[in-house]
A and B are shown apart, each in its own frame.
Chain A
Amino acid sequence: MARKRTDRAKGTGGASTAVKTDLGLPDGLTIDDLVGCFTEMILVRTLDERIWALNRQGKVPIAASCQGHEAAQLGSLLAAKKDGKCFLFPYYRDLALKMCAGLTPTQVMMSFMGKEGEPYSNGRQFPLQGADLAHNVIQISNVVAAGLTQAVGYALACRMLGDDTVVLTYFGDGASSQGETHEAMNFAAVHQLPVLFICENNRYAISVPQRYQMAIADVSTRADGYGFRGVTVDGMDLVQCYEATSEAIKHARQQGPVLLEMKVERLMPHTTDDDDLRYRPRAEIEEARKRDPVVTLAALLIDQGALTQERVDEIKEQARDAIDEATDAADAAGQPDVSTLHDLVYAP
């Protein structure tokens, strides 16, 4: 059987700039889509910043920020939504992905506070971990890469049941070192399963930089070893992420797995419990902030005349109001009743 070539033609990685000056949008993507993504991005960013404040106030025990990963997550999510037949296995840093898959800010805030009725686990797990089946999302645990074999199994079952779902499974550069990542990719390749492995490579596994994690520049080159397609894109560029995901979904459905690496920047510490200045030079973080997708996408949309600075300010104001409201509502919500401690250890 013929194997797919590895094509990383777009692999400009961290060196490229997110802004496209000539806005030749890929098929199926409109400027309104981009405005929609920008509005979502602002809402997520506002919430992301708020939970750090709430953490310092003792109201949110733990949070992993997605700041810097938004373009990758929202670009790929838009492609999945437009396809309409995708199922997602995100990882712990996929706040933008999980939120914009269909949750309200209040639901997300309730999850961060561990409140009764939060949609993923009813307060049993870390924020946004468990399952949000209403929006086709599963993330069971914090053991990185454990979701990859599960995603492959999900895809196998879809094929056995005769539906043409494509499974998108997300992981970081850290998880790329796990043995299960290899097992998942190899099995998916053997069976040519419709799985899209999306690596959000921010070059840090908590504190360990990429050069101590792997001896290669691009995770996507590993696809060669499995006999399927590997692609690297600039994960700070939403249009590139959308386009690459869109193509990869089509490819995965027809011809089997794709490893899609999105080079991103982690703009915040690993979690609210981390201090990144212990291992990361301040200048590097400041440099990364220049490529913040919130800034570059705003600049692009203003440049294209799709937004004005006034409209951008309005969007930010509306986001602040929405997150204020969500914070109050989640704060006022009750905690799970202690009588439920023993419930559902076993499924009926």
Chain B
Amino acid sequence: MPECSVIDAVREALREEMRRDPTVFIMGEDVGQRGGVFLATQGFLEEFGRSRVIDTPLAEAAIMGIALGAAFRGLRPISEIQFSDFIWPSVNQLIGEAARVSYGTNGALRVPVVIRVPYGGGIRGGLFHSQNVEAYFFHTPGLKVVAPSTPYDAKGLLKSAIRDNNPVVFLEHKKTYRLVRGEVPDEDYTIPLGVADVKRAGRNITVVSYGLMLHYCLEAAEQVALDGIDVEVVDLRTLKPLDKETVLESVRKTGKLLIVHEDNITGGVGAEVAALVADEAFEYLDGPITRLCGPDVPTMPFAQSLEDAYMPNTERIAEALRKQSAY
């Protein structure tokens, strides 16, 4: 199997789905002539033409609202929000409207729209090019939220998202785009939404994570393995719907749970995972559920020292694992 980066996998998934289904089209800022600021749609304008690869004005609410209207007519739009930090002007269309369409029309209309959102920090993006936005959408019934960590998952999940009949917020961690490489088959495959993946099997502690942090968790697991701590790493992959069973099954086996994410700790995805385990696997726990997450500051700041201080990293995760192990 050929190896590629996350951004290559995203591009291939988009290209294959555009070729497979003529109702799929892409709209967003700089997606056409420029091929996207991260080059996710490089070469698409030439292959699919201006009617299916639409360079929009800088107007995120329109990008989302127009996608909804096109979906009402039976198309499958893919809207690119250039950076997660720019998604806020479109939030009424996304949370206010899209999430309520199926329910609010009693199923008469559906919204097969994918919103691709490059997100996350560790890239010196400062307050407006680093944001973690997942918790806002994770909270919202009617939306699905996907956050892959590897090229293989990115391609398979993006294809499923495009074929899904609901609005899917597809979060692509910017730092993984070129940093993370992996094997991706050439043939068509999909990964179902709502299914987590055990990326490393272990017996002593469960770590639940997603996105960039998943890789730091895997590194930390290898570090503490040298001390005889056997860590199981669960990659949520899809945040909503949450794969409760995979999380619970792992915790029932290990008896300990550490949750790691880059997003702010308060009201984050980790809080829900913690509540889930407390509700449904309490009697299996051998220690307190702990979270290692971004602190409650608006976003990771621009200065290197402050950005580093914000981001959970391999060493901190390893430390948290040792502490869990010693409890």
Contact = CB atoms under 8 A, between A and B. Distances in A.
Interface of A: 120-122, 124-125, 129-131, 133, 138, 140-141, 143, 146, 148-158, 160-161, 179-180, 183-184, 186-187, 190, 343-348
B109 interface: yes
Given A133-B109, A152-B62, 20 more contacts: A121-B105, A146-B93, A149-B61, A149-B62, A149-B69, A150-B68, A151-B69, A152-B65, A153-B68, A153-B70, A154-B70, A154-B73, A156-B66, A157-B70, A157-B74, A158-B73, A160-B52, A187-B57, A344-B106, A347-B102
Contacts of A186: 57, 59, 62
A165 to B, nearest CB: 9
Interface string B65-95: 1111111111101000000000001001100
Contacts of A160: 25, 51-52, 70, 75
Interface of B: 25, 51-52, 56-57, 59, 61-62, 64-75, 77, 89, 92-93, 96-97, 100-112, 141-142, 144, 165-166
A143 B108 contact: no
A115 to B, nearest CB: 13
A268 B57 CA distance: 39
Contacts of B64: 149
Given A180-B62, A347-B165, A190 B57 contact: yes
A143 B97 contact: yes
Nearest to A344: B107
Given A121-B104, A121-B105, A131-B109, A153 B97 contact: no
B61 A161 contact: no
Given A160-B25, A183-B59, A346-B142, A121 B106 contact: yes
A345 to B, nearest CB: 5
B251 to A, nearest CB: 27
Contact of A157 (B59, B69, B97): B69
B115 to A, nearest CB: 14
Nearest to B69: A153
A152 B66 contact: yes
B62 A131 contact: no
Contacts of B71: 153, 157
Given A186-B57, A187-B57, A187-B59, A124 B65 contact: no
B73 A157 contact: yes
A184 B61 CA distance: 9
A333 to B, nearest CB: 15
Contacts of B25: 160
Contacts of A131: 105, 108-109
Contacts of A346: 102, 142, 144, 165-166
B167 to A, nearest CB: 10
A133 B92 CA distance: 23
Contacts of A149: 61-62, 64-66, 68-69, 93
A187 B66 contact: yes
B92 A146 contact: yes
A186 B56 CA distance: 10
Nearest to A149: B65
Contacts of A345: 102-103, 141-142
A161 B57 contact: no
Contacts of B166: 346-347
Nearest to A140: B97
Central interface residue in A122, A129, A133, A183, by most chain B CB within 10 Å: A183
A104 B180 CA distance: 60
Contact of A140 (B57, B105, B110): B105
A286 B65 CA distance: 40
A120 B64 CA distance: 23
Contacts of B111: 347
Given A125-B104, A143-B97, A345-B142, A179 B69 contact: no
18 contacts: A121-B104, A124-B104, A125-B104, A149-B65, A152-B65, A153-B73, A154-B70, A157-B71, A157-B73, A158-B73, A183-B61, A186-B59, A187-B66, A344-B102, A345-B102, A345-B103, A347-B102, A347-B110
A345 B165 CA distance: 12
B103 A143 contact: no
A184 B69 CA distance: 11
Nearest to B62: A183
B69 A154 contact: yes
Given A138-B109, A161-B74, A153 B67 contact: yes
Contacts of A157: 69-75
A155 B75 CA distance: 12
Contacts of A148: 65
Contacts of B57: 183, 186-187, 190
A184 B104 CA distance: 23
Contacts of B141: 345
Contacts of B142: 345-346
B65 A180 contact: yes
Nearest to B59: A183
B248 to A, nearest CB: 22
A161 B57 CA distance: 22
A130 B104 contact: yes
A151 B73 CA distance: 10
A345 B71 CA distance: 17
Contacts of A124: 103-104, 106
Nearest to B102: A347
